Amino acid sequence: MNNSNSNYEELLYNLPDYVAGKITDENLLLRIQSELNSNPEFKAEYDLLSETYSAVKDMKFSEPPVHYFTNLVPKINEKINKQKESKGIAGFFRLSNLVKYALPAVSVVLLIFVITFSNKNDKDESMFTRYSDTISEIMKLDSETSNVSVDVETDTALESTEEEGFTDSDDASELSGIENENIIELYDENGDSEDEYFYYSDFETLSQIEQNELINTLSETKF
């Protein structure tokens, strides 16, 4: 039963080609003709299919305009050229190109940036060292040469002023220097205060060259 069903199905599926006259297999042709003669259901299918086939065959297409095919090739060429142009621009921004060109470029820029700023920091550090050295030298010079000790003798002078009625103008200027807190606080390398003070009065005790050197150093220093 299954065998005859599959046989019938096979013949049915070949029916459109039979109607169209496209079957070349002699054996298949004979089987279809035999079925048509013996099976009215198959014959009915054949008649309906023939009618439909004729209807579809008779269908008329409207032809494309005459100039269509002559314009087709130039149109395609134009589109291909446009694509090439757009690929040229868009291609530059492709990921592969970004990796190829942009990444090294950014790396070089970053490297230059880092080198520049590390040099600047070194410069600042060397200026700070120079400043510290100069101040140390000044202090050393001061302690060796000064007649008035900043820490001890200023205090003594203060006491004597209270007791004896202080009138000396030089000493008075020293006092005013202290009162105005016109001092430079010294810091160690870590930025901690060393509790040593460089007083304005000390500045006056320096020679002109030392004063100029100190002024230059201070003016170059960024606080």
Partner 1 sequence: MVIDHDDADDITQNVFIKLHSALKDFRGESALFTYLYKMAVNFSLNHIKKVKSKQMKETVITNDMINNISDYSNYSSGFDSDNRSRLIAEAVAILPDKQRAVFNMRFYDELSYEEIGSVLDKSVGGLKANYFHAFKKIQSFLKDKKAKGEID
CA gap 133, 130 in Å, rounded = 5
Site for partner 1 (CB under 8 A): which residue of 4, 62, 121, 147? Answer: 62
Report residue 99 as tokens: 């990796």
Helix (H) or strand (E) holding 184: strand 183-187
**Closer residue to partner 1, CB minimum distance, 13 or 223:** 13
Tell me which of 33, 83, 107, 212 binds partner 1, using CB under 8 A: 83
Supply the minimum distance, in Å, between the C-beta of residue 100 and partner 1: 22
Burial 167-195 (b: 16+ CB within 10 A, else e): eeeebeebbebbeeeeebebeeeeeeeee
Cα torsion through 105, 108, 114, 116, rounded to 10: -110
Where does this chain touch partner 1 (CB under 8 A) — which range of 9-17, 115-123, 189-197, 202-210? Answer: 9-17
**Residue 188 near residue 194, CB atoms below 8 Å:** yes
Q: Does 98 bind partner 1 (CB under 8 A)?
A: no
Q: Is 39 in the site for partner 1 (CB under 8 A)?
A: no
54 lies in the site for partner 1, by CB under 8 A: no
Instruction: Name the residues that contact partner 1, by CB under 8 A.
Output: 12-17, 48-49, 51-53, 55-56, 58-62, 64, 68, 72, 75-76, 79-80, 83
